[in-house]
Amino acid sequence: MQQTAEIQSTQEIAAIQKDKYPVKRGILGNFVYSLGLMATYAFLRFSSEGKNNIPKEIPYVIACNHQTYVDGMWLASFLPRKHFKVMCCLAASDLETSHGLLGRMIMRVGQGIAVDRYGSPVRGLIKAKKEIEKGQIMLVHPEGTRSHDGKVAELKDGAAYMAIKANVPLLPIYIEGGYDVFSRHMKKPQPWDHKNHRRKKVVVHYGKPFHPADFGKDAHKLTEAVTDWMLQMEKNAN
């Protein structure tokens, strides 16, 4: 009887963990998102380019450079409302444990799916793939962590892998200017350009979607194409 109870308990825990992700945005998450956007428009010169490249149909995968805690909020602000409702993100599991209230709010607003950056990411990737197949949009930062110097770091194959396995387009996004506003080296956002006496500028660039079939469904080749696009956008911004 005791052994049976232990098995049932293990199964219940597994079910809870399975249902925990993606984290539900809920009323609080939507409120925090709206508050964040109000502050963005109030304190920054905030705009977008290439919105016409956003796929009209869902699902799809988003691959974006990673400059700040709030990249997901910024890029989501220009998506159709019905797309935002089903947008999730692949997020480092330590956001929930090592980044305080801000980290937990990011998981909620982004409807995060935790992935272990320092162990095996497979469980998180499989869960994310299943959510895409259910019709969710999945945001991935292929660099794996926020930029240390504002430059695009080496991209990993996770975003390409999910797009290929789920057979959906991959939308590349490049955020310009975010590092100067809220880099990993800042304790709080710094939206004011003291040198030029004006608000700092952030631009969200949406590229043309990449389709897995055009790359022979090869994740590495698809990642290389996204990398080339990101580096070109970085060059154009400088």
Please compute the mean of the pLDDT values over residues 62-78 and round it to a whole number: 98
Whether 139 maps to a domain, the answer reads: yes
Q: Which CATH number is 36's domain given?
A: 3.40.1130.10
The residue that leads in pLDDT, 5 or 70, is 70
Q: Of the candidates 222, 208, 22, 20, which has an alpha carbon nearest to the alpha carbon of residue 132? A: 22
- Dist CA 140 CA 88 (whole Å): 9
pLDDT digits (tens, 9 = 90+) for 81-125: 999 999 999 999 999 999 999 999 999 999 999 998 766 778 888
Whether 140 maps to a domain, the answer reads: yes
Whether 208 maps to a domain, the answer reads: yes
The torsion angles phi and psi of 226, rounded to 5 degrees, stand at -65, -40
How many domains does the chain divide into?
1
This prediction has a pTM of: 0.90
Domain that holds residue 129: 20-237
Q: What is the mean pLDDT of the chain?
A: 92
Whether 95 maps to a domain, the answer reads: yes
Whether 50 maps to a domain, the answer reads: yes
- Dist CA 83 CA 115 (whole Å): 23
Q: Is the pLDDT of residue 10 over 50?
A: no
Whether 9 maps to a domain, the answer reads: no
